[in-house]
Amino acid sequence: MKSNPLEGRSAKILFDSGLQFRIDFLQDNQLRWTSIRQEDAGATDIETIHVEQYPSGIFSVDWIEESGLCVSYTIDTLNHYVKSFMTFPDREYRGGRRPFTHEGPFHFISEDGKQDSKGQ
């Protein structure tokens, strides 16, 4: 039985900030993110995630990285869009955390990296 409805799926995200990722939803509420920007040389890690599913193809995917970076994605699978809110340690900001937001296209992809014809 799947631990979340996105398990076994992969996606490509192209954020307006310039960040670009392939994300793979793995078993046991794990997510592998891999930067697909050339300058990041394939940086990757696996995170434990919390997933909530809402009506109309909306998902919330959240995790905390070892570095203290907190990431929250709101994914609209019907409209192929994602918004992200992140915070990371920075003493110059309220509560000692700096916020960062970005958004962009979200597309499920197949194993070979091509857009997935299964849709949402």
Which pLDDT belongs to residue 119? 55
**Domain 9-109, second-level architecture:** Beta Barrel (2.40)
Using the structure block, give the residue that is written with the tokens 């959240």: 62
Q: Tell me which residue of 56, 53, 93, 49 sits closest to 71, measured CA to CA.
A: 49
Average pLDDT by stretches of 10, the chain with 120 residues: 90 96 97 95 95 96 95 97 95 92 96 71
Domain assignments of the chain as residue spans, ordered by start: 9-109
